[in-house]
Amino acid sequence: MFHLPQCPLGGRITHLEQATQELRIQLAEARRKADGLVRINRAHQQKHQCESLYAQGRIQDAAECLLEFTNTVNEDVRANSFIIDWLAGEFRCRALG
């Protein structure tokens, strides 16, 4: 249970306003982190789909998947170096292989 400090009503209101603002900041940060994890998960799923299609010998589907993936990459996914490294490696392998 939440206990208010022993202070005048004005002090209690100020304390509640500060606590509410701190909770809003924590909630916004938690949402930002969750959104980032969802985007990273989606990018990993797209990556695995491209790899799976290629492993099944469905080269045209894999190429279309890869093109779609690169066309839909947004700033948040670009910040994920793992995905960027994978994409760059895939392009190098295809170009050199």
Task: Show the domain range for 21.
Answer: 9-96
* Domain-embedded: residue 76: yes
Q: Taking Cα atoms as reference points, which of 67, 6, 78, 7 lies closest to residue 39? A: 78
Number of domains in the chain: 1
Q: How far apart are CA 30 and CA 39, in angstroms?
A: 14
Q: What is the mean pLDDT of residues 6-11?
A: 66
Q: What is the mean pLDDT of the chain?
A: 79
Residue 96 predicted with pLDDT over 60: yes
- 70 within 8 A of 87, measured Cβ to Cβ: yes
Q: How far apart are CA 23 and CA 28, in angstroms?
A: 9
pLDDT tens for each residue of 23-64: 888 888 888 888 878 878 888 888 899 999 999 999 999 999
